[in-house]
Amino acid sequence: MHRPSVRAALTTVLATVALAGCSLAGTGDEAQDPATSSSDGAAAEAGGPVVLATHESFTLPKKLVRQFEAETGYELEVRAAGDAGTLATKLSLTADNPIADAAFGIDNTFASRPLDEGAFAEVTPTLTPPAEYALAEGGDRLVPIDSASVCVNVDTAWFDAEGIEAPRTLADLTDPAYADLLVTPGASTSSPGMAFFLATVAEYGDDWPAYWTDLLANGAKVVDGWEDAYYGDFTAGSETGTRPIVVSYDSSPAFTVTDGATTTAALLDTCFRQVEYAGVLAGADNPDGAEALIDFLLGDAVQSALPESMYVFPVMPDATVPADWAEFAPQPTDPYEVTPEEISANREQWLTEWTDVISR
């Protein structure tokens, strides 16, 4: 009576083992690839793997990766996981035994932490990015690669349809005419949310809690992440959205183009500029490869590909920007600024106070 069941059990167990075997073998092969080729590479004069640690928003078209490998003889291995804060923490915690050779994606809001922990080595790239992006402290270790400004965006189509004039400044957002129209990602949970918060700190100084109190009294909605704000609440991003003012990027209007015109606009007087940096990790296995990678990131091929693959502006002035971007996504000329040192010194206190203000 039990025989069929036992046989069935055995069959299933065997099938599972077989499947697992395939699967393990599959993963194993992939894992071995870099290792095998690394020993091959070591036999050649320059080469071997270069490991890049970065955040989850990083993408480089496959074509460019192949170009890098062909030009330099190194093999690029990208490890992208977590957000910018997670990356900064990872690099800081592993400063004495780095997880990679190079890192990309540390921005000006997180730069001081890994620098203080000694995660980065000095680097002199062949190409020099414009001085306006350089860090005052740590500029010898972190090289600017791209920039993106976080600005308040408005659904111009909505404002036209309602016959209301769209806001222009941070102060306008507390005007009762714009009551219940703004949605922003939170400063504690989102990198653009933090950037918007820093813009308000730069504008209002120590009085920012009063501004935020007014903002919330005027019906501002705070959500978790950029996705929630843009796709959940913004009228131009979601069918069920009810709010025509959202905290997003200066490049966002280039993504709402229909019939040769954009239906949204970034308010260029409300922007905080995020600059993303790359660097060679201290104690890296392959510092030469890491330096070659940074040169490549500053090269025209990658710089011109940045807008399409990562929605950011290149730092090198001669890089090409897509037509839609040039036409519909002007960059702010005079964004708000808060230094990395000031951010690092105050972040905890600011966030605690901010959370208290929005929890009231």
Partner 1 sequence: MRRLLALLALAAGPVLVLGVLFVLPVTGMVSEGFFVDGSFAPGAVLEVLARPRVHRVAWFTVWSSGAATLLAVVLGLPAAYVLHRLALPGRAAVRAALLVPFVLPTVVVGVAFRQLLGEGGPLGFLDLDGTPVAIICGLVFFNLAVVIRTVGVAWESLDPRPGQAAAALGASPSQVLRTVTLPALRPAIVGAATIVFLFCATAFGIVLTLGGVRYSTVETEIYLLTTTVFDLQAAAALSVLQIVVVVALLALAARLRATPDPTAHRTVTPVRAVRRGDAPAVVATLVVLVAMLLPILTLVLGSLTVGDGWGLANYRALTTTGDNQALLVPVTAALVTSLRTAVDATWMALLVGVSVALIVTRRSHSVAERRVRSTLDGFFMLPLGVSAVTLGFGFLITLDQPPLDLRDSPLLVPMAQALVALPLVVRTLAPVLGGIDDRQRQAAASLGASPLRTLVTVDLPVVWKPMLAASGFAFAASLGEFGATSFLARDDSPTLPVVIFRLIGHPGEMNYGMALAASVVLAAATTLVMLAVERLRVPGVGALA
Structure tokens that stand for 198 in this block: 């820093």
Q: Rule CB under 8 A: is residue 130 a binding residue for partner 1?
A: no
Decide: is 81 part of the binding site for partner 1 (CB under 8 A): yes
Q: Which of 125, 129, 138, 241 binds partner 1 (CB under 8 A)?
A: 241
Q: In whole angstroms, how close is the CB of 249 to partner 1 at the nearest point?
A: 8
Among 69, 83, 214, 285, binds partner 1 (CB under 8 A): 83
Q: Does 97 bind partner 1 (CB under 8 A)?
A: yes
Three-state DSSP state, 56: coil
38 binds partner 1 (CB under 8 A): no
The identity of residue 14, as a single letter, is L
Q: Is 287 helix (H, G, I), strand (E, B) or coil?
A: helix
CA dist., res. 214 & res. 182, Å (int): 12
Among 117, 34, 41, which residue's Cα sits nearest to residue 79?
34
Q: Which amino acid is at 130?
A: P
Residue with tokens 């690394």: 38
Does 311 participate in binding partner 1 (rule CB under 8 A)?
yes
Q: How many CB atoms lie within 10 A of CB 179?
A: 12
Per CB under 8 A, 197 contacts partner 1: no
Which residues between 106 and 125 bind partner 1 (CB under 8 A)?
113
Of 51-59, 164-172, 201-209, 291-299, the segment contacting partner 1 by CB under 8 A is 51-59
**Residue keyed to tokens 């990083």:** 58
Residues sharing a CB contact under 8 Å with residue 100, sequence separation 6 or more, in sequence order: 51, 52, 53, 79, 281, 284
Residue 240 in the binding site for partner 1 (CB under 8 A) = yes
Among 62, 124, 206, 333, binds partner 1 (CB under 8 A): 62
Work out whether 4 is an interface residue with partner 1 (CB under 8 A). Answer: yes
> Which CB atom, from 96 or from 132, has the smaller least distance to partner 1?
96
Q: How far is the CB of 132 from partner 1 (least distance, A)?
A: 26
